[in-house]
Amino acid sequence: MKPRHVALAVLVTSIWGVNFVVIKVGLAEFPPLLFSALRFLAAAVPALWFVGRPRVAWKWVLAVGFLLGVAKFGLLFIGMGAGMPAGLSSLVLQSQVIFTVVFAAVLLRERPRPVQLAGMAVAAVGIMLIALDYGVTSPMSALLLVVLGAVAWGLSNVATRHAKPPDALSFIVWVSAVAVLPLLGLSLVFEGPAAGWAALSDLRWTGVSALLFIAWVSTLFGFGVWGFLLREYDASTVVPFALLVPVAGMFSGWLLLDEAVSPVRIGAAALVIAGMAATTVRWSKPATPPIVHREVVDARSG
């Protein structure tokens, strides 16, 4: 990759890591489902004027909108609102890599490579260590909600694989638009109109800033640049940079929110990241040097 494109990849994955801290800030101002709905509303409405119609079948836009927008982010925001730390959320959510490989094997008949199976086992051990360490002092339900969000993300990855959108930014904008009304409806049912009205009538700059960062910087800028990189390079070159997301998430959670990072969590994080690396990086065999016939060598030396 060109140095400036490497810098863009590192910038985007760092933004996505810090995004979990920003979510925590926003959840202090908004109910989780309402916050998720407003995030997609702020991302979709301005951008719909600049992107064309999605160049994929509407069934895939709807499917990814519900799986990624409603299920994944709804569960993530509820889990974090219930107490799941930002840093751990950024790490546990990346278990979507495991679920993506599993769902691709079941639904797409893609046979996982031995190194992928080994990586999934290592990452699963890391997730279990996190569950044991986290469950000692915190409600396990918050962790399980984030894991379920990763499951939904894995399903949405398979749906996106089917859709093969030629324009990643246009696709994510329409997916964002699809998620708005279902999330608003769920918020009215489960959080109540009073909670939503109280949050909107008492808007502060911290809540608005968090909302705009997640909508414009993390979603529109992040996915726009990521889609550009995927058009310029093979997925096997770009995707491994996503391993930096939990690193940035855990570091920013520790730095900005004073979240505890125990030796057990550091070790578990190392296992998860190493396992995910094994599932995403394609190990290529070294190039075999060309065989030069002896007669040709002799002819050139003479």
pLDDT at 133: 78
Mean pLDDT of the chain, nearest integer: 86
Least confident range from 11-15, 37-41, 78-82, 90-94: namely 90-94
Least confident range from 129-143, 252-266, 277-291: namely 277-291
Question: Tens of pLDDT along 191-233?
Answer: 999 999 999 998 899 999 999 999 999 988 988 888 788 778 8
Q: Which residues contact 38 (CB under 8 A, 6 or more apart)?
A: 30, 211, 215
Average pLDDT over residues 251-262: 89
Instruction: Express as a percent the part of the chain with pLDDT over 70.
Output: 91
Domain boundaries, the chain: 3-283
Question: Tens of pLDDT along 86-119?
Answer: 999 998 998 888 888 888 888 878 788 888 888 8
The model carries a pTM of 0.86
pLDDT tops 80 at residue 300: no
pLDDT at 137: 64
pLDDT at 52: 81
Nearest CA to 62 out of 182, 222, 150, 149 is that of 182
Cβ burial 234-257 (10 Å sphere, 16+ → b, else e): eeebbbbbbbbbbbbbbbbbbeee
Average pLDDT over residues 13-35: 95
pLDDT tops 90 at residue 47: no
Highest-pLDDT range among 1-5, 31-35, 56-60, 85-89: 31-35
In which band, very low, low, confident or very high, does the pLDDT at 62 lie, cut at 50, 70 and 90? very high
Please write down the HEC assignment for all residues of the chain: CCHHHHHHHHHHHHHHHHHHHHHHHHHCCCCHHHHHHHHHHHHHHHHHCCCCCCCCCHHHHHHHHHHHHHHHHHHHHHHHHCCCCHHHHHHHHHHHHHHHHHHHHHHCCCCCCHHHHHHHHHHHHHHHHHHHHHHCCCCHHHHHHHHHHHHHHHHHHHHHHHHCCCCHHHHHHHHHHHHHHHHHHHHHHHCCHHHHHHHHHCCCHHHHHHHHHHHHHHHHHHHHHHHHHHHHCCHHHHHHHHHHHHHHHHHHHHHHHCCCCCHHHHHHHHHHHHHHHHHHCCCCCCCCCCCCCHHHHHHHHC
